[in-house]
Amino acid sequence: TLAQYWEDRDAPVVTKDGVTVELQMNAGLLFDLGHLSQTGASAVGLFRTEFQFLLGGALPTAAAQEAFYRQVLETVGKREVIFRTADIGSDKRAGYMSGPREPNPAMGWRGLRVALDRNGFLRTQIRALLAAARGRKLNMLLPLVTTKEEFLEAKGLIEKEVDRHRKHVGPPPPIAVGAMIEIPSAAWNIRSLAEVCDFLSIGGNDLAQFFFAADRENDRVSLRYDPLSHGFISFLARTIDEAKRAGKTVGFCGEQATDPLMALALIAIGVARLSVAATAIGPLRATIRSVEFAALQAEMQRLLAEEQDGDLRTALREWAVTQG
């Protein structure tokens, strides 16, 4: 019945054998957030703050940023929001941000690299986020982290702003700072990042782009490589295992997780949280509730041990069909 549907929607998402998977929503506009309660997502797992920076013709002022974040938090209500600090550059170029033309922008001056080089820009954003949080827990996620040193440098800037907030505004909100894992070297060395950050989220769009050396903006090459392949999944499995050794679970916020089979593969290798577009949440909830985690995990371990390289999709689909 309809009443049952609403009830189910807000219940935790668990597999048949009781393993909980957190389903979160990706957003970047206030418009997206209207869908949050309809989807039953447990949180906004990735709020792409750069949209505000890219839509206008100029860098938004600190006041405009603060007002926007406040509106986001009010719209979302009691659920948590993970604010990804502005990820500018490459496919997200702001016309007003000058800089040399880059022949290879995806691997260029972007994400945290821009934020650290123009740290006034990052500090303004942190200041606005701290002010908007008003005592609510503030989750910040840093984009395109390459090394632990970069993460710590950004964390140092956050600490400066927290001190400033304490001095001039009042007690700071509780804070969690996470790192996006979008670069193969960061994934390979995830243990050192895991030791210093509060949480981790794999950005599969960028990570797959670099893993397969296939521009995500270019369909001619990006569609050639299925991320649901032995190479990528075993790489992610190692990444997640390494993070766990440092006591951290890992989330995944790339678009690939909207594909139910890919989502199953991610859950099988131990991804604890999936953050996806609003429209994908319903189908994923149904998929997760229909499987037995122990069987799924065993099947994935078998596939990863057996297969050399290549497609995992066919075998996983066949397995899913036998599970009903």
Stretch that binds ligand PEP, among 14-22, 198-206, 219-227, 236-244 (CB under 6 A): 198-206
Applying CB under 6 A, does 258 fall inside the site for ligand PEP? no
How long is the chain? Answer: 324
32 binds ligand PEP, rule: CB under 6 A: no
Residue showing tokens 């080089």:
117
Strand ranges in 67-112 using DSSP code E only, listed in sequence order = 80-84
Residue 184, judged by CB atoms within 10 A of its CB (0-12, 13-18, 19+), counts as middle
Contact 232, 214 (CB under 8 A): no
Q: In the window 168-207, what residues touch Mg ion (CB under 5 A)? A: 182, 203, 206
Q: Give the helix/strand (H/E) hosting 255.
A: none
CB 24 to Mg ion: min, Å:
16
Asked if 66 touches Mg ion (CB under 5 A), the answer is no
Question: 84 or 165, CB closer to ligand PEP?
Answer: 84
Choose between 206 and 259: whose C-beta lies nearer to Mg ion. 206
227 binds ligand PEP (CB under 6 A): no
112 lines the binding site for ligand PEP (CB under 6 A): no
Closer by beta carbon to Mg ion, 15 or else 26: 26
**Which tokens hold the place of 154?**
């950004």
Cβ at position 308, least distance to ligand PEP in Å: 27
Interacting stretch for ligand PEP, rule CB under 6 A, among 93-101, 202-210, 225-233, 290-298? 202-210
User: Out of 45, 227, 254, 260, which residue is the one contacting ligand PEP (CB under 6 A)?
Assistant: 254
- Measured from the CB atom, the residue of 182 and 242 that comes closer to Mg ion is 182
**Residue pair 127/62 in contact by the 8 Å Cβ criterion:** yes
Q: How far apart are CA 126 and CA 18, in angstroms?
A: 38
Give the Cα-Cα-Cα angle 109, 113, 118 (nearest 5 degrees).
Answer: 100
**Binding to ligand PEP by residue 45, rule CB under 6 A?**
no
Q: How many helices (H) and strands (E) does the chain have?
A: 17, 8
Q: Residue 141 Cβ, how far from Mg ion at the closest point, in Å?
A: 11
Cα 196 to Cα 81, 192, 200, 204, 238, distances in angstroms: 21, 7, 10, 21, 19
Task: Report if residue 66 touches ligand PEP, rule: CB under 6 A.
Answer: no
Q: Which residues bind Mg ion (CB under 5 A)?
A: 182, 203, 206
